[in-house]
Structures are given as C-alpha cells and as structure tokens.
A and B are shown apart, each in its own frame.
Chain A
Amino acid sequence: MSTETPVAAAATTAPPRQEGGVMSRNRGVIATVITAVLALLWLFPLFWAVLNSFRVYEYTQANGYLSFGGWTTDNYRQAWSQGNFGLHMRNSMLVTIPAVLLTLWLSSMVAFVLARFSFRFNLTMLGVFLAANLLPPQALLIPVFRMFREIPLPTFMSENGSMLNSFWALILVNTAFQLGFCTFVLSNYMKTLPHEIYESAELDGAGVWRQYWQLTMPLVRPALAALATLQFTWIYNEFFWATVLIQQGDKLPITSALNNLRGQFFTDTNLVAAGSVIVALPVLVVFFALQKQFVSGLTLGSTKG
C-alpha cells in the first residue's frame, strides 16, 4: 500500500511522463524485491513446518533437518487420534460459533444506537467500548477468574456448578473482549448509511426495532460478513482464556489441545507440526472462502462514504 502511493504521486505530479515512468519503474522493482524477500522470510517457517510435518521423526533426528527423505503421512493420522482432535474441534466450534453470533448481534445493536441517535453520551459510550480494547486481556485475568469462580451455574449448564470449566465462560469472555472492536467498526459503517432512509422509514411508521432489524441489518451485511470472518479467526485462535478458565481436559478447545502432542520430556516436533497444520486448516478455509470479506474487513470504516 505505502509503496504504491509515492508511485501514483510521482506519476501525477511529474509533467514529463517518461522520466516519471523510469523513476517509478526502478522504485517498483526495488519495492517488489523487498516485498518478495519479506514475504519469503515470513513464509519460510510455515513452509518449513508443513514440509517437516510429512517426515518421520526418527529420520530427521538421525540425519538432521537439512536432510531430504523419510516421507510419511502418518504424522497427520497420529496427530488426529493422539490429540483427540475430533472432540476438541467440536469444543472449538461450540465456543466460536455462539461467540461470533453473540458478538455481532450485541455490537450491531449498540452500534445502531450510537450511529442512529445523537444522545449526549454517545461519544462517551463509544469511548468506553474502545477503551476496553486498549486494556490487555491478561491484566484482567485474576478478576475474571475470581468472578467466574463465584458465579454459580445450574449443573445442567456446568457439571461442577460454577462458571469455571464451562463453555459459557469462554463464550462470554470472548464476546466481551471482541465487543469493543465490532461496535467501533459497525458504528462507523452505519454512519455512512444515508440519513434520509431513516427519515422516510420513520414517515412510513417503522419503529426503532424495525429500523434496526429490517433496514439497517440488511444494509450492513457486508460489514457483518467481514467481521464474522475476522472474529471467527480470532476467537478460534484464542488460546489464553481457554487455558485459564478450562481445567477439564476434555473441554479444551483445539488450540490448547495442541499441547496434547507434547510429552512430559520428549516432544516429536514433526508430529506437533502436523498437528499445527491441522489446527490452522479451518482458519485457512475460512480465509480463502471469504477472502474478499476479509480484505474489505481490514479497511472497513476507514473511509466515510
């Protein structure tokens, strides 16, 4: 992005077109080379992990990782069964999907009010939502842990009768921490909707609820799709809260369950690499399937229409 801007500027401001063209071509080559090197540097560990996830540990241990050979797909089979990934993938989905839906639903309501009405406290409210984003979640570890410990839940919601060790805890925590960002993005997006639509809707007798549900929500669907993609990735990848709030092995989401592949002393790194690839797959699928939304999500609300 930043490399394109000077190029465009050079092309428009310099009157002799040829010179500008030469300049930009040179810069373009340099930029491409630098980007390519950076991309390679960044991709190398990933590529390396994928490559070695297809190799037998004994072979790489005996011949070193710079060798070539010892190919196998057993690591994937073993990672799936030893890590008990079926169960943990299910746990991850049970946390991620409700959390994403809940986040989008709650934040869209807040955003609607913040964007649609001009109450005195609107700006303050938006500020409060954003301020929570500035606080590292880790700083709230102990208060949240203690609070959840004191919250009783009926046993059909949580076997041991406390908020700890239940999916409810993870869904709530993730929702709470993502709410600020989603509200910010959605309210900015909603502000771009023309005010006249609401005036005519009101004239036609649509109440506030109807303006929210039947008018605003369909119009912000692109923003919701983009946010859903981002949120899915973030909540699915969340590791910290799950390790703190869940103490029962069979309730851990898949990111934390990756540790199942490590031994007490001995760790088969190739196996862990295979496990990591499996864990990363859903995110990759979501990313490639919804790539358009993902990219637009990154720039969402950055311009006012």
Chain B
Amino acid sequence: MPRSALVTMAASRRSVLRGMALGGLALGSGGLLAACGGDDGGGGSSGSGTTVKFGINEAKGSGPAYDRLAAMAAAYTKETDTKVDLNAVDHNTFQESVNTYLQGTPDDVFTWFAGFRMAQFAEAGLITDLSDVWPIDGMNDSFKEASTAPDGKQYFVPKDYYPWAVFYRKSIFEKNGWTAPETKDDLMSLMDDMQGKGITPFAFGDKQGWPAMGTFDILNMRLNGFDFHMSLMAGDEQWDGDEVKLVFETWKTLLPYHQEDPLGRNWEEAATSMGNGECGMYLLGTFVADAVADVADDLDFFTFPELDSSIGADALDAPIDGFCVAAGGQNQEAGKAMAKWLGSAAAADAANSGADVPFIAANSGASTSSYSALQKKSAEVVGAAANIAQFMDRDTNADFANTVMVPSIQDFLKNPDDIDGITSSIQEQAASIFG
C-alpha cells in the first residue's frame, strides 16, 4: 500500500519531484562535504562553527530537569562556540521509543541511563565506545564502573544520580522520640511502636508496577549481598533458588507493616499518606519530595537497615543518569567532545545554576552550595556506600523487568502465600529471556 501511494504521488507530481531530486543531489553532496570538513578540522576539540545534535529526555518546559539540560547546552555553546541543536522529547516517550530512535536518525549525544540499559546498546553496537574520553576529572571509580559495559570499555558519561532510601518526617519522629533504625531489631521495634500508636509503618503503592521493585532490590541486597543481586539481575542466578525465596519470605513477614492493598495505590498517593502522617516511613527515591512539596522541608531519610550482620548495609539503589554518543550520529568527534565536557564539574555547575532545583552531580568537583539538605545528605550517603546498584529496571533486561517482574511482584503482593509458584514462574520466564 504505501508503495503504491508513493508511486501515484510521484507520478502526479513528477515535475515537482524532478526539481527536488536535482536540488537534493546538490544539497546532499554539499552536506557530506561539510561533514567531512567538520571531522577533519574538529579533531576532538570541536572547532568553532560545528553543530552537535543533543537529544534529551525531558520535554521543553517540563521543569527543572529540562532547564538544567538546556543550561548545559547553552554553556557548552558559550564555552566552545559549538552550536547545540536541542531535541527535547518527554521522558517516557523517549524511553519507550529509544530503540527506533537509535536505529533511525539519532542525535549525536543523548541522555541515557547507566548499567544494563547502557550495556545492552553497547553490545548491539548502537552506542559509541567512549573509553578515550575517560578518565574524567572528578569522576570516581564507582561511576567509572557504572559506565563500563561487559567488554571492559566505557560507553557512558555520568551526569547525576539520586538514592533510594527510607523517607520520614523529622517532626513526627521527634515528637514520638523515634530514631533511624540501624539493625533489624531496631526496625522491628520501631514498626511495632508505630503500629501501637495507630500509624502504618510503611507507606506502600505499586499500581504503576515499578515502585515495589525498589523494595525487592533492597531486601535482596541486604539478605544476599550486592554481588548476588547483580548477578541475579544479569540472569546468572536461579530465580527459584533459596536466596530469592528468602527475599520473598522476608518481604511476606514485613507486609503486615505496609499499607494494605498496594496494587490500588500509585506512589503519589502512598507518598501523600506519609506526608500527612498516616504512615511513618516510605521507601522510595528522592523524587518522593515532588509529591509532598508542602512538607518537603520536614523530610529526612535513612538507608534501609541491615538485616543480616554478615552482609551489612553498605549497598543501595542509586540510579545514575548521564549521556551516550549514538553510533548512528552524524558527527562522532563533536559528540564525543561534548560528552566529555558534559561530565565535567563546569557542566554540572552550569546546570545547577540554570535551574530552580539542582541535581546531585556525579562529578565530585561540582559545587554543592545550591544543594538542599536532603541532597547534601544524599551525596554523603551515596559517597559512603561501598556498592551502588541502578534499580531493577535498569540493572536487568528491560523486557524482563517490565513484562516478567512487574506482574510477578504484583502477583506476590496479591497472594503472598504462593512464593514457590511465583518464583518458579519467574525462573521459567527468565530462562527463556536470558537464554
């Protein structure tokens, strides 16, 4: 059908098209020549007059996240005289169509996530090897590791991150004389005390499917350790083994301390019930503050306490956002040069001074003066963590996370007694996805 339509159209507008084809030939070859010239002359430092295309996963005007990226682009133009062509697409659309984007006509540099999501594209040859832009001043080893694909090369430049932790309202904890728990016993007695005072210990909502992944991640890291968690995510461990069953068993004993019927509640609603004091704590990312803006100043957090003293509590989820260079981009050298600059402290400072709300820069040289109290603490906590995971839907195959784990965890929350059935079903599907 499209073919016949094309033919008909071409026939009916033959003369127009003939003109266009001729013009296109001239223009097309001109463009090619210009691109070659840019490559030769730019040679990495990207000379004046070059244009670099920058695809970002925030829609224009969507708030501070967009403002920060736009400020980075503007600062780059100012500093290097390279024109930046901004392509702003909203976060979810960008993420859902990233496959066609990278195989179609991608921009030179684009915003993306560290971890498995990055590694998948590296293996498919869709993103460019950036090992020659590393090391980057101010990026420590854990960030370098998060930027490295299984082939040992870096394909990613980190920009910022945010931790997942247990959030609570300072005033409520003070009023009741509660303190942040450090061991499992502390946690249990705190939760019992909360229940005794008519407060549900944990706010909980999993209508969207992904929030409960954070609970699974942290329980797995606390009970089985970071290394097991990562190899489980990579598909190298059994999902129906004793370790995963232990995670679900423990979760089952904790469920009575969570809000009931989590499948009917989205995270915003759960956050609200923590904000208004119905619930005492909420395990979520720092973005929880967006949903309870009126009490955001009263928020504080602690990392999830240790459950097994031989494993400790030094690992957490802290998804890292950053940049990749698309292999299909037209100007590789300019893309690489920009990616390197985007990882610098200057880029982070430009972003944070260009928006109302700063991000937590991955670069340790970036100024922290504009950070909120929560962000300063986040930076400390993540800096002190021995191991950083990226969150389940970034650490594992996206299809596995979305089509297997989302419904499986929801099944578990609906029917916590069927752990054997759920784990063996996950294992079956994992085997077919990871091969």
Binding site for B on A (CB under 8 A): 58, 61-62, 81-84, 102, 106, 132, 144-145, 147, 149, 152-157, 160-162, 164-165, 172-173, 175-177, 179-180, 243-244, 247-250, 252, 256-257, 259-260, 262-267
Contacts and interface: CB of A to CB of B under 8 A. Distances in A.
Given A153-B24, A161-B31, A260-B90, A247 B2 contact: no
Given A155-B27, A265-B290, A176 B5 contact: yes
A154 B23 contact: yes
A249 B61 contact: no
A127 to B, nearest CB: 13
Contacts of B383: none
Contacts of A249: 59-60, 87-90
12 contacts: A83-B61, A84-B59, A144-B2, A149-B104, A155-B31, A247-B55, A249-B60, A249-B87, A263-B91, A264-B91, A265-B285, A266-B268
Given A156-B23, A176-B1, A259-B59, A265 B287 contact: yes
Given A164-B105, A260-B60, A265-B285, 18 more contacts: A81-B61, A84-B60, A152-B24, A156-B24, A161-B31, A172-B9, A179-B1, A243-B96, A247-B89, A247-B97, A249-B59, A250-B88, A252-B89, A259-B90, A260-B90, A263-B62, A264-B91, A266-B291
B372 interface: no
B280 interface: no
A145 B106 CA distance: 14
B93 interface: yes
B154 to A, nearest CB: 25
B294 interface: yes
Contact of A244 (B87, B90, B100, B330): B100
Contacts of A161: 28, 31
A248 B110 CA distance: 12
B93 A259 contact: yes
Interface in B95-122: 96-97, 100-101, 103-106
A172 B10 CA distance: 12
Interface of B: 1-2, 4-6, 8-9, 20-21, 23-25, 27-28, 31, 55, 58-63, 65, 87-93, 96-97, 100-101, 103-106, 267-269, 272, 276, 285, 287, 290-291, 294, 330
A144 B290 CA distance: 40
A113 to B, nearest CB: 12
Contacts of A244: 97, 100
A266 B293 CA distance: 12
Residue with the greatest number of chain A CB neighbours at <10 A, chosen from B20, B62, B65: B62
A177 B28 CA distance: 30
A160 B63 CA distance: 28
B2 A165 contact: no
- Of B9, B23, B90, most buried by chain A (CB within 10 Å of CB) is B90
Contacts of B87: 247-250
Contacts of B65: 264
A155 B330 CA distance: 14
Give 8 closest A-B pairs by Cβ, nearest first.
A154-B24, A260-B59, A249-B89, A264-B91, A249-B88, A176-B2, A176-B5, A266-B290
A74 B105 CA distance: 37
Contact of B63 (A172, A173, A263): A263
Given A164-B104, A247-B101, A82 B90 contact: no
A165 B104 contact: yes
A243 B4 CA distance: 24
Contact of A157 (B4, B20, B105): B20
A19 to B, nearest CB: 52
A266 B287 contact: yes
Contacts of A263: 62-63, 91, 290
B2 A147 contact: yes
A160 to B, nearest CB: 5
A202 B267 CA distance: 72
B210 to A, nearest CB: 9
A167 to B, nearest CB: 14
B317 to A, nearest CB: 14
B1 A145 contact: no
Contact of B27 (A154, A179, A248): A154
A266 B269 CA distance: 11
A154 B374 CA distance: 51
A161 B23 CA distance: 12
Of the listed residues A149, A152, A252, A266, the one surrounded by the most CB atoms of chain B closer than 10 A to its CB is: A266
A179 B59 CA distance: 34
Nearest to A103: B5
Contacts of B58: 264
Contacts of A62: 272, 276
A135 B24 CA distance: 34
Contacts of B24: 152-157
A259 B58 CA distance: 11
B5 A262 contact: no
B62 A260 contact: yes
Contacts of B60: 84, 249-250, 260
A217 to B, nearest CB: 16
A83 B20 CA distance: 34
Nearest to A161: B28
Contacts of A179: 1, 5
Contacts of B21: 154
Contacts of A265: 267, 285, 287, 290
A63 to B, nearest CB: 10
B6 A172 contact: yes
B291 to A, nearest CB: 6
A147 B88 CA distance: 25
Given A149-B103, A248-B87, A265-B290, A156 B27 contact: yes
A132 to B, nearest CB: 5
Nearest to A251: B87
A58 B293 CA distance: 9
A264 B65 CA distance: 10
Contacts of B20: 154, 157
B2 A173 contact: yes
- The interface centre, meaning the residue of A161, A164, A175, A264 with most chain B CB atoms within 10 A of its CB, is A264
Contacts of A252: 89, 93
Nearest to A87: B60
A155 to B, nearest CB: 5
Nearest to A105: B12
A84 B60 CA distance: 8
B272 A61 contact: yes
B28 A172 contact: no
Given A61-B268, A161-B31, A247 B63 contact: no
